[in-house]
């Protein structure tokens, strides 16, 4: 989903930058508030960022005969809500743009929008929706991560199709082209990401019950607040 450096026309690059900026600024505020009010969550925040770091470095082969990578943003979105994930995702993208020539500074706005804003929000939305219908936690986590991953690549396809409409078939033709490169490749990877996110969530449930209860991921039937305090 990394649009390469210089591969978006200036007007598009600026527009996506403007679109992403408020989410990142709001995210930085949420992040500092979270750290100030709950210093104990710093470790788990670090772990969520680390998960994105690992997953977005893993380039995996897919059914289309090309390689792509997961995003790892679903976990942080479910744990800390999407605004905070916008910051963690931006840090990852900045690292890759500056050191790996993967993505770029001029396309940072667009890449942040797809991976750190749209993906986390879409995944979080699905997670919340499924939770409302009492779907088991791990199933909601799987679909949250799956949707966060896949929607990121769909947004990238839209971004490229907007910038480079096909001369013959227009926006939709280009969308089909970029979609077949990104979205189809991504389906099995999104499944992998869902499974890995479930794995990490299972480990978290085993190791960090108190933290998950405070964040509202785990619900306890008897006095959730007290439970969170005593479990720490």
Partner 1 sequence: MNRNTRINALLLLAVAALAALPLVLGLGDHKEEPFTGADAEAETAITEIEPDYEPWFSPLYEPPSGEIESALFALQAAVGAGVLAYYFGLRRGRRQGEERALAARQDPPAED
Near partner 1 in 117-146, by CB under 8 A: none
| DSSP string over 52-106 | HHHHHH--EE-TTS-EE----HHHHHHHH-HHHHHHHHHHHHHHHHHHS-SS-ST
Q: What's the min distance (Å) between Cβ of 77 and partner 1? A: 17
Please tell me whether residue 21 binds partner 1 under the rule CB under 8 A: no
Burial class (CB in 10 A: 0-12, 13-18, 19+), 207: exposed
Near partner 1 in 152-211, by CB under 8 A: 156, 160, 164-167, 174, 177-178, 181-182, 185-186, 188-189, 191-192, 195-196, 198-200, 202-203, 206-208
Please tell me whether residue 94 binds partner 1 under the rule CB under 8 A: no
- In this chain, which stretch among 77-85, 98-106, 117-125, 218-226 interacts with partner 1, using CB under 8 A? 98-106
Is 75 within 8 Å of 201 (Cβ atoms)? yes
Q: Which residue has the tokens 């190791």?
A: 207
Tell me how crowded residue 221 is: count the other CB atoms within 10 A of its CB.
6
Q: What's the min distance (Å) between Cβ of 4 and partner 1? A: 6
Whichever of 65 and 132 has its CB closer to partner 1, that residue is 65
Residue 61 phi, psi (nearest 5): -70, 150
Please tell me whether residue 66 binds partner 1 under the rule CB under 8 A: yes
Please tell me whether residue 58 binds partner 1 under the rule CB under 8 A: yes
């Amino acid at each position: 989903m990394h649009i390469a450096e210089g591969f978006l026309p200036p007007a598009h690059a600026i527009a996506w930058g403007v679109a992403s900026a408020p989410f990142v600024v709001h995210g930085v505020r949420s992040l500092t508030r979270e750290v100030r009010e709950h210093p104990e969550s710093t470790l788990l925040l670090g772990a969520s960022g680390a998960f994105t770091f690992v997953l977005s470095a893993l380039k995996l082969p897919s059914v289309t005969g090309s390689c792509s990578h997961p995003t790892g943003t679903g976990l942080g979105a479910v744990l800390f809500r999407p605004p905070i994930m916008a910051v963690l995702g931006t840090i990852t993208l900045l690292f890759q743009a500056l050191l790996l020539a993967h993505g770029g500074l001029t396309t940072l706005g667009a890449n942040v929008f797809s991976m750190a804003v749209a993906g986390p929000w879409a995944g979080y939305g699905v997670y919340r929706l499924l939770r409302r219908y009492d779907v088991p936690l791990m199933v909601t986590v799987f679909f949250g991560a799956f949707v966060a991953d896949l929607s990121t690549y769909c947004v990238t396809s839209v971004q490229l199709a907007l910038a480079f409409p096909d001369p013959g078939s227009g926006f939709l033709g280009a969308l089909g082209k970029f979609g077949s490169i990104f979205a189809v490749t991504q389906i099995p990877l999104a499944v992998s990401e869902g499974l890995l996110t479930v794995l990490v969530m299972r480990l978290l449930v085993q190791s960090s019950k108190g933290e998950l209860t405070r964040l509202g991921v785990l619900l306890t039937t008897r006095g959730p607040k007290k439970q969170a305090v005593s479990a720490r």
